[in-house]
Amino acid sequence: MTSSIDRNTATAASPVFDLKAYLKQYQQQVEAALEQSIAVVYPEKIYESMRYSLLAGGKRLRPILCLASCELAGGSIAMAMPTACALEMIHTMSLIHDDLPAMDNDDYRRGQLTNHKVYGEDVAILAGDGLLAYAFEFIATQTQMVSPDRVLRVIGHLGRAVGAAGLVGGQIVDLESEGKTDVSLDTLNFIHRHKTGALLEASVLCGALLAGATESDLQRLSTYAQDIGLAFQIIDDVLDITATQEELGKTAGKDLQAQKVTYPSIWGIEESKRQANQLVEAAKAALDPYGDRAQPLKALADYITARRN
């Protein structure tokens, strides 16, 4: 296929992009698709528990990044929606497991009680497992208008991003670092590039893969995604200190309480914000060749540093 850049020239008078309206519209579409994605059948408890966390709100950033990236690369929302839902299923399962007493031990998530507080630890573990498996089933069975080789690439990429080479690898180094005061910046970067960054990168790349993006498109999008992934985590660490429990929808100040090494604990709050802004600028610059077509992804990058939760 031709490069996305060839089909896309920046215009002198770029229209102002309304991120608020964009987020509202895409969030609504994602909510509707997620609502339809899982039915409650026998044995009801597991499906109810999966739906409890999946439909608890959240910014839906990963699905929206996937849809926006697919559109930038010339695809449609319909092509990417099953993968977008699967990304949210995987993200939600990682939150359920992260909140368990054996991990971060949290009582609140997305403004409501965590899954294990409502259903018990045994059910919460299974709800996470159920969502993880279903995510891959959902991509394989629900994706339409995309050739099987592209779907296969998406499944392969996502599997790698979620396993020991991605989320799971980041989480274990995070657990091993708990209680240590001498965690290096390299280790902190490893943790967050894997634990948080890998799924954000997969969200962007899977959307583009579905649309048949070229290798050079994938390279640019990967640079964008890795930069926003790290910026996202730096701001997450800052918000843990500066935002309230009401704003966050989860316990605030947890990192300080657990004496965790974070970006603000190494750099301070102002320098952390500066580093995050620098990463966001670099992320946006990587998409300059796409002109106006990159407006949604660029605005989403800005949203990462401007958000309050």
Nearer Cβ to ligand GRG, position 58 or 74? 58
Out of 38, 58, 130, 207, the only residue in the binding site for ligand GRG (CB under 6 A) is 58
Q: Which stretch binds ligand GRG (CB under 6 A): 40-48, 54-62, 262-270, 278-286?
A: 54-62
Q: How far is the CB of 124 from ligand GRG (least distance, A)?
A: 12
Q: How far is the CB of 58 from ligand GRG (least distance, A)?
A: 3
CB atoms within 10 A of CB 281: 14
Give 109's strand partners: 112
With binding defined as CB under 6 A, does residue 95 bind ligand GRG?
A: yes
Q: How far is the CB of 182 from ligand GRG (least distance, A)?
A: 23
Distance (Å, rounded) from C-alpha 185 to C-alpha 263? 8
Distance (Å, rounded) from C-alpha 293 to C-alpha 12? 13
Out of 195, 260, 273, 284, the only residue in the binding site for ligand GRG (CB under 6 A) is 195
Q: Which stretch binds ligand GRG (CB under 6 A): 16-24, 39-47, 163-171, 178-186?
A: 163-171
Tokens for 148, please give them: 């099987």
Q: Which stretch binds ligand GRG (CB under 6 A): 10-18, 55-63, 72-80, 257-265?
A: 55-63
Within residues 240-259, the interface with ligand GRG by CB under 6 A covers: none
Residue nearest to ligand GRG (CB): 58
Residue listed under structure tokens 């930069």: 227
- What's the burial of 26, exposed, middle or buried (CB within 10 Å: 0-12/13-18/19+)? buried
Q: How far is the CB of 163 from ligand GRG (least distance, A)?
A: 7
Q: Are 11 and 293 in contact (CB under 8 A)?
A: no
CA 250 vs CA 79, 107, 239, 247, 308: distances in Å = 33, 8, 11, 8, 13
CA 43 vs CA 48, 124, 125, 134, 138: distances in Å = 9, 15, 16, 15, 19
The SS3 of residue 166 is coil
CA 87 vs CA 55, 66, 117, 200, 204: distances in Å = 13, 8, 24, 9, 10
Q: How far is the CB of 144 from ligand GRG (least distance, A)?
A: 26
Q: How far is the CB of 114 from ligand GRG (least distance, A)?
A: 12
Q: How far is the CB of 188 from ligand GRG (least distance, A)?
A: 14
Distance (Å, rounded) from C-alpha 175 to C-alpha 198? 17
With binding defined as CB under 6 A, does residue 171 bind ligand GRG?
A: yes
Out of 46, 113, 140, 168, the only residue in the binding site for ligand GRG (CB under 6 A) is 168
Nearest to 199 by CA among 225, 173, 236, 172: 225
Nearer Cβ to ligand GRG, position 101 or 288? 101
CB atoms within 10 A of CB 219: 12
Q: Which stretch binds ligand GRG (CB under 6 A): 14-22, 90-98, 148-156, 257-265?
A: 90-98
The SS3 of residue 126 is helix
With binding defined as CB under 6 A, does residue 118 bind ligand GRG?
A: no
> Where along the sequence are the contacts to ligand GRG (CB under 6 A)?
58-59, 61, 91, 94-95, 97-98, 103, 110, 132, 162, 167-168, 171, 195-196, 233, 236
